[in-house]
Amino acid sequence: MSGDRTTDDPWARLARLTPARIGLGRAGAGLPTREVLRFGLAHAQARDAVHTALDAEAVCAGIASLGFETFTVASSAPDRATYLRRPDLGRALSDASREALSARAGEAVDLALVVADGLSARAVHEGAAGFLAAFKPYVARAGWRLAPVIVAVQGRVALGDGIGAALKARAVVVLIGERPGLSSPDSLGAYLTLDPRIGRSDAERNCISNIRPAGLSAEIAAFKLDWLLTQAFALGISGVNLKDGSGTALEGGAKPVPLVGGASPGS
Amino acid sequence: MAYRHVVGPRTHVFADLATLMAKATPVRSGDRLAGIAAESAEEEMAARWCLAEVPLSEILARPLIAYEDDDVTRLILDTHDAGAFAAIAHLTVGDFREFLLTASSDTLARIAPGITPEIAAAVCKIMRNQDLILVARKCRVVTRFRSTIGLPGRLAVRLQPNHPTDDAAGITASIIDGLSYGCGDAVIGLNPASDSVSALSALLHLIDDLIQRLEIPTQGCILTHVTTTLEAMNRGLPVDLVFQSIAGTQGANASFGVTLPILKEAHEAALALKRGTVGDNCMYFETGQGSALSAGQHHGIDQQTLEARAYAVARPFRPLLVNTVVGFIGPEYLYDGKEIIRAGLEDHFCGKLMGVPLGCDVCYTNHAEADQNDMDTLLTLLGAAGCNFIMGVPGADDVMLNYQSTSFHDSLYLREVLGLKRAPEFEAWLERIGLTDADGTLVPEGPSARLIAAAPGLADRDVAA
């Protein structure tokens, strides 16, 4: 195949300035074979990320090994094809899960954590436990009372509203597989909603996006989530009126709690 | 008033015109999600038969959303050209389809101001894909700013150099890449990751400096909210085109934070800058089926009809560019390649019929049942239909918005297969700087080094290092 580039090629140097697919070369009007195949592989991985079923058992095991209790629920979407066509079903618990969750709910808590497949089970398989491990020290430091971590199958972000309400949580955070981009099949989003209840709008949530090894690291994402949660609890708001100032906090010298080393009590 | 159609022993009843139009729409997931799609294949065809017999004058007389409830309805009816409509006032929807297939380009241009979006949508529903292509091809909507877009036998490309963090060197690198494939005659248009005015200032200067330095006969645009662009113009920043996403109902536009008076204010402000050289079309709108339903502002009307109403919002502002971002919204609105292809042809047809300069972001997301082959099909069909412009995204992979569109290479493909030229001013510029020959074909080993050297911020960065 033609199209291999050497480092003194100006286009190859240009290509280092952006993740965009530039300097690809061409064969007539078409792409070089290498690039057609590279694109096809990326699309295949993104498609697989969308259609892979969540292995809830394995996800629960990974989260439980961090010391969290877990509980599995399902949305009203019976299968992946329906889930993709009917976002409304992915936002509502199945009848069985709603009843089971009500039975499980105990005393009021500060925070309910929900891990949902969303549009990329792969992102959850590869990243959810790592994020929770990074976030756990902040929970301990703040002394937030936690509900069991809910692992949700065929779930959309708003599924967390009903879960949070059922668990009598002051806030819910939904950690969810984001719509995979061609170059990012493994991206998680974390959505924070204060005072969760069915009918909350997206404008009432804060989102931390692009959590993945090549994007926002779990450590930084956990730092940001802690910042947002602390502000949300203090101010009594979440959503568009709560601006993310965690970047300024980081620039101001605040350090994310290290993942290893047990720097935080109770981690 | 209810509509009825008899098929053998069965009588299909449609409660009102909105229901009839929804059921007559080729089925798609968004109308199903809204609960308004035909429930059987026979019902869909019965609705189409029934719709074909509805007089155009009746569609005009029965607004789908009440005049007093919606400013888009008021805009449609208050600006309707009764004189232009007179030529088709006697026709039914079915007759109108045949009229369109036989009409000349001149006739189509004359009747355009008399065509309401509901009329365009109604006839669209009973037309096959080949009808949509054939008629749209005869509609010519030509617009101008620094380049001329929409001339017969030509296709323009929006160069879309998005970057996940708005990095100036990264954006410039994508622009230089696109220019080297002869793309960018529709606009160099960036979707910014940040929406602050200070970030916008740097990006506006970046693109404007590049256009000035290389003397490119094209226009720049940062696709941010209209109110942010207004603020930028108030601060004296170099704004060529005002961008805004729009939809077909007042409520959906409100969900975008936009009103007709705000659009008017921004249009007048951009006109006053007089930055165009060959014309003064200075608005850029984006639309897409499903946006009104997504905002919960669809009034029980099908998404294809609401999309046509968005073109009625665009029309009075004489935009340079309007593009339907057809597959961006996701499979809950357009499920697969077949639905995306159909919607792209519908949107292009309705826009052109109404006299609006339609282009298309031929695109899909990774959770839709579609791939690049479907995009090749729609791209080719739109090329045949005389689409004004398409997107040029590096490698078809938008690394900021996370979706797949068409690439610089795709435009070369379409030009070679269909013999489509670029905007004349841009074509002349490419030849002048030696990137293309007199035929508009890219010269192998063209002067890309000169392009790179002329790009501000690149020559002294990694490239020259």
**What's the whole-model pTM score?**
0.91
Phi, psi of B317 (to 5 degrees): -90, 5
Q: What are phi and psi of B5, to 5 degrees?
A: -145, 135
Q: How far is B455 from chain A (nearest CA, A)?
A: 11
Q: CA-to-CA distance for B80 and B268, rounded, in angstroms?
A: 22
The CA distance from B62 to the nearest CA of chain A, in Å, is 32
CB–CB contact A21 B176 (8 Å): no
**pLDDT tens for each residue of B198-247:** 889 999 999 999 999 999 999 999 999 999 999 999 999 999 999 999 99
Residues of A in contact with B403 (CB under 8 A): 181
CB pairs below 8 Å between A and B: how many?
Answer: 139
Residue B81 is predicted with a pLDDT of 98
Residues of A in contact with B177 (CB under 8 A): 11, 14, 20, 22-23
Q: Which backbone phi and psi does B177 adopt, to 5 degrees?
A: -60, -50
- Does the distance separating the beta carbons of A180 and B366 come in below 8 Å? yes
Looking at every residue in chain B, the average pLDDT score rounds to 95
CA B314/CA B355 separation, integer angstroms? 10
Q: Do B365 and A182 touch (CB under 8 A)?
A: no
Interface of B with A in 227-246 (CB under 8 A): none
Q: Is A21 close to B372, i.e. CB distance below 8 A?
A: no
Confidence of residue A257 (pLDDT cuts 50, 70, 90): confident
Residues of B with Cβ-Cβ distance to A181 under 8 angstroms: 366, 397-399, 402-403
Residue among B423, B429, B400 nearest B411 (CA): B423
| Alpha helices (runs of H) in B181-325, residue ranges in sequence order | 197-214, 226-234, 250-255, 260-273, 291-294, 303-314
Helix, strand, coil percentages (3-state) for chain A, rounded to 5, are 40, 20, 40
The pLDDT mean for chain A works out to 90
pLDDT in tens, A102-157: 999 889 999 999 999 999 999 999 999 999 999 999 999 999 999 999 999 999 99
Under a CB-based contact definition with an 8 Å cutoff, are residues A112 and A196 in contact?
yes
**Which pLDDT band, with edges at 50, 70 and 90, does B457 fall under?**
low
Q: Which residues contact B275 (CB under 8 A, 6 or more apart)?
A: B145, B219, B238, B239, B240, B282
- ipTM of the predicted structure? 0.93
pLDDT tens-digit profile of B163-198? 988 999 999 999 999 999 999 999 999 999 877 788
- Quote the pLDDT of residue A10: 79
Handedness of CA B129, B131, B137, B142 (dihedral sign): negative
CB of B89 less than 8 A from some CB of A: no
Q: Residue A165: its pLDDT value, please?
A: 97
The DSSP element (H or E) to which B121 belongs, if any, is helix B117-125
Of B97, B108, B128, B93, the residue nearest B21 (C-alpha): B93
The verdict on B458 touching A (C-beta cutoff 8 Å) is yes
Q: Is residue A23 very low, low, confident or very high in pLDDT (cuts 50, 70, 90)?
A: very high
Whether residue B15 is predicted with pLDDT greater than 50 in this model: the reply is yes
Ramachandran region of residue B387, left (φ > 0), alpha (ψ -120 to 50) or beta?
Answer: beta
Dihedral of CA atoms B134, B136, B142, B148 in degrees, nearest 10, equals: -70
Query: Does B169 contact A at CB distance below 8 Å?
Result: yes
pLDDT of residue A189: 95
Q: What is the pLDDT, as a whole number, of residue A8?
A: 55
Segment B257-262 mean pLDDT = 96
Percent of chain B with pLDDT over 90: 92
Nearest-CA distance B366 → chain A (Å):
6
Q: Does B80 touch chain A (CB under 8 A)?
A: no
